[in-house]
Amino acid sequence: MSKSLLIVESPAKAKTIGKYLGPDFEVKASVGHVIDLPPKKLGVDVTNGFTPEYEVIDGKQKVISDLRKAAKGKETIYLGPDPDREGEAIAWHIAQALGKDHNFKRVLLHELTPTAIREAIANPVTISKPRFESQQTRRILDRLMGYLISPLLWDKLKRGLSAGRVQSVALRLIVERERAIFAFVPEEYWSLTAEFLTEGRTFSAQLHKVDGKKAELKNEEQTMAVVEAVRGAEFTVADLVNKERRRYPLPPFTTSTLQQAAFNRLKMASKRAMRVAQDLYEGIDVAGEGQVGLITYMRTDSVRVNDQAAAEAMSHIKENFGPDYAPAKPNHYKNKKGAQDAHEAIRPTSILRTPAMLKGQLETSHWQLYDLIWRRFVASQMTPAVLDQTTADLAVDKYIFRATGSIVKFKGFLALYEFGKDEEKELLPPLVKEQKLKPEKIVPKQHFTQPPPRFTEATLVKELEGNGIGRPSTYAAIISTLKDKEYVDAAKGVLKPTEMGFAVTDLLVKNFPDIMGVDFTAGMEENLDQIEEGRAEHLDVLSRLYNPLAKDLETAKAAMANLKRDGLPAGVDCPSCKAEGSLNLRYGRNGFYLACRECGATCDFERDEHGVPHPVDPPPQEAVGECEKCGRPMVIKKSRYGHFMACTGYPECKNAKPLANPVEGGPVTVDTPPPIPEGYPTTCEKCGSDLVVKKSRQGTWFISCSGYPKCKNAKPFPSGIKCSKEGCDGEIVERSSKRGAFYGCSKYPKCRTIIKGKPVNTPCPACGHSFMVENPKAKTDPDAPPLICPSKTCQAGPEPKA
């Protein structure tokens, strides 16, 4: 029997570790968290010290039972979930679930190699209560925000929406960027280029200064004045500077820089990149080695590298690139302010596993990401690239034109990790001071300033990290949520807010100004770090951060705009009553639409390049008639099923009538329901209420109980045409489905007779069939008979026999 038990998070990780530890260890997986806050209620007692109400996650009872069985008789239980806050919380909860009678030890597995695993087992630590409290504080705050604010959005806008501590601020950044694009006014400017030919080589110089000041050409007139002044003139090389420039390698990847590079270079979404990195960390089958961890822990914001890994990289560089490519001592990089240094940077667990060796053994996405990580790490330990750069100033009168050129003299790290296509520029031809040159041509070009670009996943990650919002390990999940909730559209690689994204942001920013602030969210991350480092009490932090939330929440319950009922002012004139700025943006079953505060008319809309909503497909005409129930005006509205007439007193008065094929500018005709046929019951057999005729969403008439929704008795409208199937006592009625209206037997599903075409209560003169159907060809072919027989064997049918 194994003497010790090691519990990790994932089965893949357990498999990788198990083969290195031998028979003295049993390795089991918890498959993530086993205990958490309840999913269907708040689960936090804010009046009693923010006490969390933890419970076993649904489906994890068997996991805990298996872990308890495995723990019996073990001398030591090692807890090895991921070495971060979430991993600490998993370890803490597993220890609670297994009981206090065991000897628990915490192991931090930064990489899954034999040496690292054995070293971690040999040097265990105690479970960190401050780190657990930091995670618990984050979890409680996220729960408070999500479960207290989200229901407000459900009530005021749409069920299923969510608010989040970092998610909502990230969405705000995207929305504000989009509005900056809307507000951007392009400005004209011009460039002026002189093209020269000397010693058989061409080069170009751009206007740089005028009268010693930076050149600014704002219009064609200014530009052409300069063109006329220098046309045909002789230029003099007034200044010539040759210098050597060094370009230094970038540090190895952190979580955020890996996500950025994966998106920019591999077009890999953040969520996918983190999933692939997790696989590489936990272990993948490699020929001759079995399952092995290929990279170090992938959730880190440190650029630190241990001396052994750096030495291994330098040895590889000298052997494969030459001594000039390796520095005299390892390159060390400084962490950004506020970065946690618990883990190393992301790097290969062994430099000797080159991407070439693993080619064909890994899935494409796994190999691509490993190749990127390997190259970035090895390049970080190489010498800088050396570039020769030449700058030449060419003078004519009061104008200075500048030409620049550079070429890579020594590639250094660029031999392995290229920055981009513009690294190498052709050197200028040989020039000497006071040399005289005449341009071959002068080229003016018009330009316009460009708006700020929309965020991509990579630039949003960079923006979040730069503002200290959230942690890099959460960015992939945040971006995924924004897309899943349809707050943003991620088409063509850019994040563009949807109407829902705009509306949610506007509601939250107006009603929760404290917690929606970038500074507030960034400050909270600092508080969580202080808790983890033992410099702050988690209850103090919870109280300090909860107070503004509670204050805003009370105000928002009464003041938050209801987009279902009232909407938000759109600042657009009504196309029906012409009332100035009277349209509100509202949300209904069909999505967002515009509704007039004055006349109640509704219409769809689209935004122009400035973000202003413009009505499209307005109602067919202005207000028509009075409501017979309350006396207020009746207006034309539109739903997903077409136009209808409704009372402007909605929702107090819900009087509405269908319209018969309204035409813009034409008369408004109410689609009057047919009377209930003679002899048909007029009272509901279930509740005794009157029966009425209604129209379905698919446009078919049916008979319904007037007591709806208390009584939901409904039947197809009778046609008086008996079903032709032998032995069936039903009749042919108009029915509806998702595909539209059709005709079938009222005894469905017992009788599945379906008629193609509208039936007419006229017997077939050829075969005596009890009814005929309208011929669809008669609408376009005047020679076609108006009625045909539904029987396929009849000569008067749709396919008469020869």
pLDDT for the residue 342? 65
Q: What is the pTM of this model?
A: 0.75
Q: CA 757, 761, 767, 769 torsion: positive or negative? A: positive
3-state secondary structure of 85: helix
The chain-wide mean pLDDT, for the chain, equals: 88
Q: Please give the Cα distance from 11 to 87 (Å, whole number).
A: 15
Which residue from 40, 77, 390, 450 is spatially nearest to 239, judged by alpha carbons?
390
Query: Tokens standing for 26?
Result: 């049993």
Model confidence pLDDT, tens digit, residues 458-517: 999 999 988 888 888 889 999 999 999 999 999 888 999 999 999 999 999 999 988 888
Q: Please give the Cα distance from 5 to 396 (Å, whole number).
A: 82
Residue 588: which H helix or E strand, with range? strand 583-588
Using CB atoms within 10 A of its CB, is residue 341 exposed (0-12), middle (13-18) or buried (19+)?
A: exposed
| CB crowding 48-61: b at 16 or more within 10 Å, else e | eebebebeebeebe
Segments in 533-595 forming alpha helices (H) = 538-559
Residue 371: which H helix or E strand, with range? helix 364-380
pLDDT for the residue 624? 73
Q: Please give the Cα distance from 578 to 597 (Å, whole number).
A: 11
CA angle 339, 145, 340 (to 5 degrees): 10
pLDDT for the residue 801? 39
- What is the bridge-based pairing of β-strands 4-8 and 25-29? parallel
Q: Please give the Cα distance from 454 to 441 (Å, whole number).
A: 37
Residue carrying structure tokens 């080695």: 289
Q: Please give the Cα distance from 77 to 95 (Å, whole number).
A: 9
**Stretches in the chain below the pLDDT threshold 50:** 422-423, 620-621, 664-665, 800-802
pLDDT for the residue 338? 56
pLDDT for the residue 798? 62
Give the active site residue among 78, 281, 297, 325. Answer: 297
| Backbone φ, ψ for residue 217 (5° rounding) | -105, 110
Q: Is 587 a catalytic residue?
A: no
Q: Please give the Cα distance from 79 to 29 (Å, whole number).
A: 10
Half-sphere exposure of 687 (CA within 13 A, CB side): 14
